[in-house]
Chain A
Amino acid sequence: DQQVKQNSPSLSVQEGRISILNCDYTNSMFDYFLWYKKYPAEGPTFLISISSIKDKNEDGRFTVFLNKSAKHLSLHIVPSQPGDSAVYFCAASSLERDMRFGAGTRLTVKP
């Protein structure tokens, strides 16, 4: 039972445009959400997070939006750069539960 879902396995955008990666979750107990980025032959690295008491968190070109009523979060990258090409994992956790990860979305940013 996948409690965190990333329904788009891949996404391709042009350099300079916005990339929007989506994530849905089913467990309403989740109250902390993270995005990790993974390059080939490396482990995932933490990118940005958001607590359920917020609906937006911004860090430079990266913004995460949380819609609790829809159990949906998204990661916006503006502007997208070729170096952003990677697999992005959404993760969710709560006090009672360890982190659960989505299947990942492969982002390709074309020059």
Chain B
Amino acid sequence: EAQVTQNPRYLITVTGKKLTVTCSQNMNHEYMSWYRQDPGLGLRQIYYSMNVEVTDKGDVPEGYKVSRKEKRNFPLILESPSPNQTSLYFCASSLSSSSYNEQFFGPGTRLTVL
């Protein structure tokens, strides 16, 4: 089944404790992206990757890191999480880097930083 998977689905952590949210897609998509969803703000892009070893900042990259060592994986790293990073996070992928392609989303990771 073609899908985007994220782990964990739920995470409660404390300020400053490094964490990684994994994202994997099995569709051989070139483009991958991370979003956060907050009430009243919709989906805001954190980072994106047009291909392996190519990553770039989205609208809200502060406090996050990403890497794209393999085509299928695009982990999101929070080196020192803070309470304002409490949010619902979505990973997405699309066939190519064209902005005109629909994106396929993972199920989401609900993160709470205490």
Chain B residues 65 to 106 lying within 8 A of chain A, measured CB to CB, are 90, 92, 98-100, 102-106
Give every chain B residue within 8 A of A41 (Cβ-Cβ): 107-108
Q: Is the CB of B107 within 8 A of A103?
A: no
> Across the interface, do B42 and A99 meet the contact criterion of CB distance under 8 Å?
no
**How many residues from B make CB contacts under 8 Å with A?**
23
Q: Judge whether A111 is part of the interface by a CB distance below 8 angstroms.
A: no
Contact in complex: B99, A43 (CB < 8 Å): no
Within A30-48, the residues touching B (CB, 8 Å) are 32, 34, 36, 41-46
For A97, the chain B residues whose CB sits under 8 A away are: 99
Q: Mark B50-64, 1 if CB is under 8 A from A, else 0.
A: 000000001000000
Listed in ascending order, the chain A residues whose CB lies under 8 Å from chain B are 2, 4, 6, 9, 32, 34, 36, 41-46, 49, 51, 89, 91, 93-99, 101-104
